[in-house]
Amino acid sequence: GQQLNQSPQSMFIQEGEDVSMNCTSSSIFNTWLWYKQDPGEGPVLLIALYKAGELTSNGRLTAQFGITRKDSFLNISASIPSDVGIYFCAGPRSGGYQKVTFGTGTKLQVIP
Amino acid sequence: GAVVSQHPSWVICKSGTSVKIECRSLDFQATTMFWYRQFPKQSLMLMATSNEGSKATYEQGVEKDKFLINHASLTLSTLTVTSAHPEDSSFYICSATGGLGHNYGYTFGSGTRLTVV
């Protein structure tokens, strides 16, 4: 089945640093989604990407849809303590356009 | 914006009992709702898709008789964990969409932490 692998699995960074994480798949995706999950909460959509090569920003967050359609990247600039959480990539599953597969997640911890 | 309310936020039950979790869309009509399960330090795994007025479709490996889903109205879906066992302890999250074509940004509830003792 479709699997989304994220790296790194976890990371500790100093407040103010930039962060990069990625998501790769063995299958092609036509849409990439990036979510953030705070502890004990449901995920919240950060950015949605719909076209290969697309680069989209949402405040300090920037995400890119890889041109091969098999990967996506999320960057966070000038990290702050509230950026702490788990970041998931996700993509629509084949055969059911409203179902999505979630990636393995990247846990981000910010040291003040 | 779209809001999905999930209740309860946490529940502890005895092994063998049943637990019902509610998922409500507060300001939109949810034609489709999804139920996920998330074990500690793991990703979200889709359990079932719930469409208003029809039977839910379950993912492979999910027992439909154990996880009963009812989507009786456009704003409410319920998940009942029947005869719960400790291995059913998990974080259950619902999401809802109004089926707006290209919009995959469906909204998630805040989750329900189920602990079976």
Q: What is the pLDDT of residue B102?
A: 44
Q: Under an 8 A CB cutoff, do B105 and A45 touch?
A: yes
- Interval A79-108: pLDDT, tens: 999 999 999 999 887 655 568 889 999 999
Count interface pairs A-B at CB distance under 8 A.
Answer: 50
Mean pLDDT by 10 residues, chain B (117 residues): 90 98 90 92 93 88 95 92 97 83 69 98
Q: Taking a C-beta distance cutoff of 8 angstroms, is the pair B115, B11 a contact?
A: yes
pLDDT given for residue A109 in this prediction: 97
State the amino acid at position B80 in one-letter form: T
Backbone phi, then psi, for B86, in 5-degree steps?
-50, -35
Give A2-37 pLDDT, tens digit per residue. Answer: 689 999 999 999 999 999 999 999 989 888 999 999
Q: Of residues A1 and A101, which shows the higher confidence score?
A: A101
Q: Does B44 touch chain A (CB under 8 A)?
A: yes
Residue B107, pLDDT score: 84
Using a CB-CB cut-off of 8 Å, the residues of chain B touching A63 are none
Distance CA B115, CA B36 (A): 16
pLDDT digits (tens, 9 = 90+) for B6-27: 999 999 999 999 999 999 998 8
Are the Cβ atoms of A42 and B106 closer than 8 angstroms? no
- CA of B96: which chain A residue's CA is closest? A98
